[in-house]
Amino acid sequence: MRAGTAVIAPTAPLASLDFLAPKEVIALATAGLHAPKDLLDWLPRRYEDRRRFDAFPAQAGGPAVCLRGTVVDSMKRAFGPRRQFYEAVVMDGTGGVFGSSKVTCRWFNMPFIHKMVASGQEVILYGKPKDLNGKLVIDHPEFEVIREDGGPSIHLERIVPIYRNVSGIAQRRLREIQHILLERIDPAALVPAFDVDPTYPRAEAFREVHFPEALEQAEAARRRFALEEFFTLQLNVVWRRARHHDHSGRVLGTKTTLLKRFYESLPFDLTGAQKRSIKEIVADMREPRPMNRLLQGDVGSGKTFVAMAAMLLAIDSGCQAALMAPTQILAEQHFLTFRKWLEPLGVRVALRTAAKEEHTHLALEGEPQVLIGTHALLFDKTLFNDLGLVVIDEQHKFGVTQRSRLIAQGTTPDVLVMTATPIPRTLTMTIYGDLDVSVLDERPAGRGKMITALRTAAKQTEVTKFVKDQLEAGRQAYLVYPLVEESEALKAESATEAFEKWQKRLSGYAVGLVHGKLDAEEKEAVMRRFRDGSIHALVATSVIEVGVDVPNANLMIIHHAERFGLAQLHQLRGRIGRGEHKSYCILLTDGKSADGMEKLTVMEKTSDGFVIAEEDLRIRGPGDVLGTMQSGLGDLKFADFLADTALLREARALADQVIKEDPMLKGQHTALAGMIQEPQAKSVRRD
Ligand code: ADP
Ligand code: MG
């Protein structure tokens, strides 16, 4: 610590720090950095090992390089009539050989760059060299001018941090600020309310993540911070779970008359996994505390029947059961399914969506026992007298927030969340960590074989013939397209345009069209006709990806398949293979995208949703995978670590321990109470 300088509190306003200019305080605030602790959390984006620089590359095409050299020439240049750019030639200070001693740097649309780069300066460059007519060029390199004022430097001869840019503050200055801060920050004030790793002081971890002596050191420090972040996440999860269990629920499911009649009415045997899950659910419902359970199973694994069994148990105990679907199409489809199976048992089923109301019974016969609707149902308390069980058909769209809102509203029904989209196991613990889990890992028997074929140069005539053959045999087909309307940018054959073509190609058959721009009524009308067989081939966008169940449809042709995400492709493919017929999923692509081919090859190789989910995580990274889920994860700074199950488990164990020791966080861990985020209610209408 510097003699004579006061220690800095992590929460002090930046304006109170003597080494920051007022202009800098404003620049930092604009970037959202208001206190020393914000700066400490502003972790390096990458590091440069400036103990040795890369050799000036002899050719383009390699990875990014970090070079040290001297600017020997710089000028403004024109590029076309109006566009200017700034160019600087940087020469290897050590004198390279064989012409590999020079690179040309270019900056476009950066009018102020000439004030920063000038001939004679010694600079450090970072970027990817490319070839421009035999010249090595780096466009928009990151660069830093070397200014040595003697003495040991934090900018040279060591591993230096490179931060995300803060507008108005140079990298070099930001590094200085961080360095001063780390020297003067009060280490005692950095000790957190709950230390996930008391053997590794937090102040030390900050020093090592900003100014590591070795990259492994920075890595270890990041792990510590990731663990802290996971701990906060898991503490919330464990807290929610505990709070759910605080509520008194009711004992349901002791009477099984309806369930037995239901079993007798089924034309098939339930799978072992279905039976096991129902058993788990029954045991849970019979507990006096409310059930909070996730039913996870791949598309077509028979979740609906498990849900029906649970709902029958609830109504046999004299209360109502509700099923929430994410879209109107799905709500209506569930209604038909439930009507088919439950009406013969004398159960009163009703459908409620924004667009529609339908009942299997007359009003005078009594209240509906089973209510099916979109998520909006949840917020209409007038519909329920006595809600005992809520089944949420989730498809990723229904978050933690809504689940808690159910509980917050006073009644505490049993909750069963069904999810068809397989989630990588590493993420289940986080996203659904507050739920108990039942898994359907077995496909019902009697399903036809499923063949997935990847075709890079399919002839339209052959594709058409294949479709016709299937329709001729009495089957139905999905013809899937990625876009609704012609987009110049993507040049994809849009669904609307394709629809017209397919009508001609398949003359004699009824072709339908469904896409996201239709309103719910129109969509449902088309789906109904496809379901009852009066439409033979359905041209569709990914709107059909969720839940649609037409067992006679055995063929799906996915055009421009590389444009879809893996999870989406898997959902789409799940629409077929639901009947006894052999099914075909044909993935059409031009084969030009390597990433696309990697994805599609996974689809061709496996139909196991969990494997696909893990591959998806691997290919896209957790950030993107999570981005498509409503996860309640907020923005993790250390999302890279999401793939790190071990760390997540460690955090879970710590959180479990804390809640066990102090269930309400009012005793020894009261300092952690502030980490609990009460979920905020959000609107969930999607139709
Ligand atoms: P999920 O909701 O998991 O996608 P569903 O419950 O909709 O699956 O079931 C998919 C299809 O499989 C439906 O057509 C259903 O009738 C059928 N099915 C469900 N369980 C069985 C079973 N045990 N044996 C045979 N067919 C089943
Ligand atoms: Mg389903």
**Range in 100-104, 279-283, 470-474 with the lowest mean pLDDT:** 100-104
For the CA of 301, the nearest ligand: 1
> How would residue 631 be classed by pLDDT, with cut points 50, 70 and 90?
very low
For the CA of 552, the nearest ligand: 1
Give mean pLDDT, residues 156-170: 91
Pocket probe mutation, ligand 1, options 578, 580, 581, 583, max atoms within 8 Å of Cβ: 578
Give mean pLDDT, residues 371-387: 78
Burial of 357 (0-12, 13-18, 19+ CB in 10 A): exposed
Report how far ligand 2's centroid is from the alpha carbon of 379 (Å): 23
Report how far ligand 2's centroid is from the alpha carbon of 619 (Å): 27
> Which of 380-394, 606-620, 662-676 has the highest average model confidence (pLDDT)?
662-676
User: What is the C-alpha separation between 118 and 684, in angstroms, rounded?
Assistant: 56
- Residue 483 in this model has a pLDDT that exceeds 90: no
Report how far ligand 2's centroid is from the alpha carbon of 420 (Å): 7
Report how far ligand 2's centroid is from the alpha carbon of 302 (Å): 7
Q: At residue 318, what are phi and psi to the nearest 5 degrees?
A: 95, 10
**What is the CB-side half-sphere exposure of residue 25 using CA atoms within 13 A?**
12
Give mean pLDDT, residues 633-645: 56
- Residue 396 in this model has a pLDDT that exceeds 70: no
Q: Are residues 429 and 578 in the same domain?
A: no
- Residue 485 in this model has a pLDDT that exceeds 60: no
Q: Are residues 124 and 105 in the same domain?
A: yes
Residue pLDDT, tens place only, 143-154: 888 886 666 688
Report how far ligand 1's centroid is from the alpha carbon of 328 (Å): 20
Average pLDDT across the chain, whole number? 84
Report how far ligand 1's centroid is from the alpha carbon of 208 (Å): 55
Burial of 508 (0-12, 13-18, 19+ CB in 10 A): exposed
**E strand residue ranges, 548-664:** 553-558, 583-588
Residue pLDDT, tens place only, 6-17: 799 999 999 999
Give mean pLDDT, residues 398-418: 68
> How would residue 635 be classed by pLDDT, with cut points 50, 70 and 90?
low
Please tell me the predicted confidence (pLDDT) of residue 317. Answer: 93
Give the residue, 534 or 620, on which the prediction is more confident: 534
**Range in 128-137, 455-464, 480-489, 678-687 with the lowest mean pLDDT:** 678-687
> How would residue 354 be classed by pLDDT, with cut points 50, 70 and 90?
confident
- Residue 570 in this model has a pLDDT that exceeds 80: yes
Q: Is residue 138 part of a domain?
A: yes
Residue pLDDT, tens place only, 580-608: 889 999 999 998 888 889 999 999 998 88
Per 3-state DSSP, the chain is made up of helix, strand and coil in percentages (nearest 5) of: 40, 20, 40
Residue pLDDT, tens place only, 37-54: 999 999 999 999 888 888
- For the chain, how many residues are written? 687
- Residue 638 in this model has a pLDDT that exceeds 60: no
Report how far ligand 2's centroid is from the alpha carbon of 300 (Å): 7
Residue pLDDT, tens place only, 486-529: 554 454 567 888 999 999 999 999 999 998 788 878 888 898 89
For the CA of 295, the nearest ligand: 1
Please tell me the predicted confidence (pLDDT) of residue 62. Answer: 82
Residue pLDDT, tens place only, 678-687: 654 333 333 3
**pLDDT above 70 as % of the chain:** 86
- Residue 165 in this model has a pLDDT that exceeds 70: yes
For the CA of 341, the nearest ligand: 1
Q: Are residues 399 and 467 in the same domain?
A: no
Give the residue, 26 or 251, on which the prediction is more confident: 26
Q: Whose CA is nearest to atom 24 of ligand 1?
A: 444
Q: Are residues 78 and 139 in the same domain?
A: yes
Residue 589: closest CA among 459, 455, 478? 455
Please tell me the predicted confidence (pLDDT) of residue 630. Answer: 41
Domain that holds residue 223: 193-203+210-246+644-687
Q: Whose CA is nearest to atom 9 of ligand 1?
A: 302
From the CA of 393, give the closest atom in ligand 1: 2
From the CA of 303, give the closest atom in ligand 1: 3
Q: Is residue 540 part of a domain?
A: yes
For the chain, the maximum distance between any two Cα atoms, rounded to a whole number of angstroms, is 95
Q: Are residues 279 and 375 in the same domain?
A: yes
For the CA of 331, the nearest ligand: 2
Report how far ligand 1's centroid is from the alpha carbon of 300 (Å): 5
Q: Whose CA is nearest to atom 21 of ligand 1?
A: 444
Please tell me the predicted confidence (pLDDT) of residue 632. Answer: 43
Q: Are residues 140 and 6 in the same domain?
A: no
Decide: 326 and 393 in contact? Cβ < 8 Å.
yes
Report how far ligand 1's centroid is from the alpha carbon of 64 (Å): 52
Give the residue, 463 or 492, on which the prediction is more confident: 463
User: What is the C-alpha separation between 592 and 178, in angstroms, rounded?
Assistant: 46
For the CA of 440, the nearest ligand: 1
Q: Is residue 637 part of a domain?
A: no
Decide: 569 and 599 in contact? Cβ < 8 Å.
yes
User: What is the C-alpha separation between 134 and 543, in angstroms, rounded?
Assistant: 49
Report how far ligand 2's centroid is from the alpha carbon of 304 (Å): 5
**Range in 238-252, 284-298, 318-332 with the lowest mean pLDDT:** 238-252
Q: Are residues 573 and 674 in the same domain?
A: no
Give mean pLDDT, residues 223-240: 88
Residue 451's H or E segment, with its range, is strand 450-455
Report how far ligand 1's centroid is from the alpha carbon of 267 (Å): 11
Q: Is residue 635 part of a domain?
A: no
Q: Whose CA is nearest to atom 19 of ligand 1?
A: 302
Which are the contacts of 268, defined by CB distance < 8 A and separation ≥ 6?
A: 444, 445, 446
**Range in 545-549, 626-630, 666-670, 681-685 with the lowest mean pLDDT:** 681-685
- Residue 628 in this model has a pLDDT that exceeds 50: no
Q: Is residue 638 part of a domain?
A: no
- Tell me, what DSSP letter sits at residue 55? P
Q: Are residues 534 and 598 in the same domain?
A: yes
From the CA of 305, give the closest atom in ligand 1: 6
Residue pLDDT, tens place only, 542-551: 777 666 778 8
Q: Are residues 179 and 40 in the same domain?
A: yes
- Residue 88 in this model has a pLDDT that exceeds 90: yes
Give the residue, 404 or 472, on which the prediction is more confident: 472
- Tell me, what DSSP letter sits at residue 214? S
Q: Whose CA is nearest to atom 6 of ligand 1?
A: 302
- Cα angle value 256/262/263 (rounded, 5°): 90
Q: Is residue 651 part of a domain?
A: yes
Report how far ligand 2's centroid is from the alpha carbon of 506 (Å): 30
Q: Whose CA is nearest to atom 5 of ligand 1?
A: 302
Report how far ligand 2's centroid is from the alpha carbon of 477 (Å): 19
> How would residue 94 be classed by pLDDT, with cut points 50, 70 and 90?
low
Give the residue, 306 or 684, on which the prediction is more confident: 306
Q: Is residue 622 part of a domain?
A: no
**Look-up of token digits 């893996």:** 566
Report how far ligand 2's centroid is from the alpha carbon of 333 (Å): 9
Burial of 194 (0-12, 13-18, 19+ CB in 10 A): middle
Question: Count of domains in the chain?
Answer: 5
From the CA of 440, give the closest atom in ligand 1: 3
Q: Is residue 618 part of a domain?
A: no
Q: Whose CA is nearest to atom 18 of ligand 1?
A: 302
Beta strand 83-92 pairing with 65-79: antiparallel
Q: Whose CA is nearest to atom 23 of ligand 1?
A: 270
Give mean pLDDT, residues 205-218: 95
Sign for the CA dihedral angle at 214, 218, 224, 227 comes to: negative
- Tell me, what DSSP letter sits at residue 368? -
Residue 420: closest CA among 405, 446, 398? 398
> How would residue 578 be classed by pLDDT, with cut points 50, 70 and 90?
confident
Q: Is 151 left (phi over 0), alpha (psi -120 to 50) or beta?
A: left
Q: Are residues 419 and 523 in the same domain?
A: no
Please tell me the predicted confidence (pLDDT) of residue 112. Answer: 81
Give the residue, 595 or 262, on which the prediction is more confident: 262
Classified as helix, coil or strand, 233 is: helix
From the CA of 574, give the closest atom in ligand 1: 4
* Helix residue spans in 34-116 (DSSP H): 36-41
Burial of 528 (0-12, 13-18, 19+ CB in 10 A): middle
Sign for the CA dihedral angle at 538, 543, 545, 548 comes to: negative
Report how far ligand 2's centroid is from the alpha carbon of 307 (Å): 10
Tokens of 310: 């649970």
Q: Are residues 322 and 378 in the same domain?
A: yes
Pocket of ligand 1 (CB under 6 A): 268, 270-271, 274, 297, 299-305, 420, 444-446, 549, 551, 578
Please tell me the predicted confidence (pLDDT) of residue 4. Answer: 45
Please tell me the predicted confidence (pLDDT) of residue 660. Answer: 93
Report how far ligand 1's centroid is from the alpha carbon of 551 (Å): 10
> How would residue 322 be classed by pLDDT, with cut points 50, 70 and 90?
very high
Give the residue, 87 or 679, on which the prediction is more confident: 87
Pocket probe mutation, ligand 1, options 263, 265, 266, 268, max atoms within 8 Å of Cβ: 268
* Helix residue spans in 19-169 (DSSP H): 22-30, 36-41
Q: What is the CATH number of the domain that holds 350?
A: 3.40.50.300
From the CA of 446, give the closest atom in ligand 1: 25
User: What is the C-alpha separation between 677 and 485, in angstroms, rounded?
Assistant: 42
> How would residue 32 be classed by pLDDT, with cut points 50, 70 and 90?
very high
- Residue 126 in this model has a pLDDT that exceeds 60: yes
From the CA of 306, give the closest atom in ligand 1: 6
Report how far ligand 1's centroid is from the alpha carbon of 684 (Å): 27
> How would residue 365 be classed by pLDDT, with cut points 50, 70 and 90?
confident
From the CA of 268, give the closest atom in ligand 1: 24
- What is the identity of the amino acid at 339? R
Q: What is the CATH number of the domain that holds 15?
A: 1.10.150
Q: Which of 607, 633, 655 is the last residue of a domain?
A: 607
Give mean pLDDT, residues 668-677: 88
For the CA of 270, the nearest ligand: 1
For the CA of 266, the nearest ligand: 1
Give the residue, 362 or 572, on which the prediction is more confident: 572
Q: Are residues 597 and 543 in the same domain?
A: yes
User: What is the C-alpha separation between 325 and 320, in angstroms, rounded?
Assistant: 17
For the CA of 275, the nearest ligand: 1
From the CA of 547, give the closest atom in ligand 1: 4
Residue pLDDT, tens place only, 167-204: 999 998 999 999 999 999 999 999 988 899 999 999 99
Pocket probe mutation, ligand 1, options 262, 305, 308, max atoms within 8 Å of Cβ: 305
